Structure 1
Amino acid sequence: MKTTISYKNQLLQINLSQPLDISIPLTNDEENPIAWYQNIPEIKPVEMGDWIGKVSEGKSSTNFNNIFFNPHAHGTHTECLGHITRDFYSINQCLKQFFFTAKVISIIPKEKGEDFVITKDSISGAFDESKEEFPEAIIIRTLPNLESKKHLKYSNTNPPYLLEEAAVFIKEKGIQHLLIDLPSVDREHDEGKLVAHKAFWNLKNINEVNKDARFECTITEMIYVDDSILDGNYMLNLQIASFENDASPSKPVLYEIFHI
């Protein structure tokens, strides 16, 4: 089902019947990806005395689970600048729009010493600035694109990350939403510098946030972009749960765009 929409003075058609989900579901088993030295998420029925909130146990008319997880460590999540500031800022307050023009790009991280990194040139090379405008969101798929990304245990593995120059480039091109299939845009062990996070959000001082910091911009990590999704332009629906927290589990969904 193709639907015609008007978006920023453009008439576009998007196919709502064929959503392309690039999130990783959260499970309570070893199939769940894990980062930042955490254990697997917990999803288990409430127990009160001899009552168990599970229909199959025969003592409840409903399934009634508690869930314990960390949005940064346990799967696809979207975060605001409150992730690294002294003062509290909530993703639920910073992200107020949910549809964006987006481009999927595939990048092979480059070897740099003991690390593999995403450079400014790798990102800029995916765009032809003479023919196209930069989108509101960029979706980075790293290569090789192994299906095992949906189940990896990232702790102490030094995954690839963005160089500061790459994050500065993304900011300077006005891209507001950065999505990537890694647990962080920064190096796993970086002595708390978080240079890519700070550059993307234009944060000059985490203790007293500068007025030109990019409050409305978000970073989404631990996505998975299937090989069936080609590099190119899409409409992104960036869905979050309404947590008053620096980050929320999220469900980014892409839709093909057909220009009229």
Structure 2
Amino acid sequence: MNTEKVAEYIVNWLKDYATKAKVNGFVVGVSGGIDSALTSTLCAKTGLPTLCAEMPIHQAPSQVSRAEEHIKQLKDRFNNVSEVRVDLTSTFEDFKSATPTDDNEERVNLTLGNTRARLRMTTLYYLAGINSALVAGTGNKVEDFGVGFYTKYGDGGVDVSPIADLMKSEVYALAAHLGVPNSIQVAQPTDGLWGDHRTDEDQIGASYDELEWAMQMQDAGKTANDFSGRQQDVFKIYTRLNTINQHKMQPIPVCEIPTELK
């Protein structure tokens, strides 16, 4: 990948889209992870106002410190970057107190994890609304179109997706080229929805390098029977998630009424 030309292309694409949409700039949720760091850097490079929003909910201190380091670095480099911190912890706790629970603890915890992402999405759209800006998504290709590792109408609720055609390895390459802080480049990827130190790999059961390989193998028409051992395990993990999360990747189904019934 020609990192310099790809970065330039995305920056121009963002700037052109915002100009045609007649908006002032971008809002990006910054988590301390590689994807949001790259996305916010690309938005900053457009020269348009870029608001970096930190939205902790019982966040691990390491994630908070990386987000703060990145935002400070961006503000030092670009005079069009500003920041806002909206602590949603009390909002999240109020929501938990106001809603019914369930005896299935695993199901409740997963649903509450997704609720965190949806509270952040609501906050981003509020910030975008008052600033006449677009919400820039931070999902990469493996997450968005491979395993569907994101929250529907949470971090999946965005206006533009500047890095959604980049594999995770390409995200890292572009981030290094653009000078994203090293602490973020070497950190283990995490969705930050649990308030602990579990990583994406812990949750998925495979690394992004493995998932990227499996995505390429599926695109090449391979099946699980073509592999053995760890490769077969990874391929099965990938295909299972790709199948069950198609509802995130496909347009919302519309019940089309036959003409003769109207």
Normalised to the residue count of structure 1, the TM-score between the two structures is 0.23
Relative contact order (alpha carbons < 8 A, sep ≥ 6): 1 or 2 greater?
Answer: 1
User: Which structure shows the bigger proportion of residues in helix conformation?
Assistant: 2
User: Which structure shows the bigger proportion of residues in strand conformation?
Assistant: 1
Normalised to the residue count of structure 2, the TM-score between the two structures is 0.23
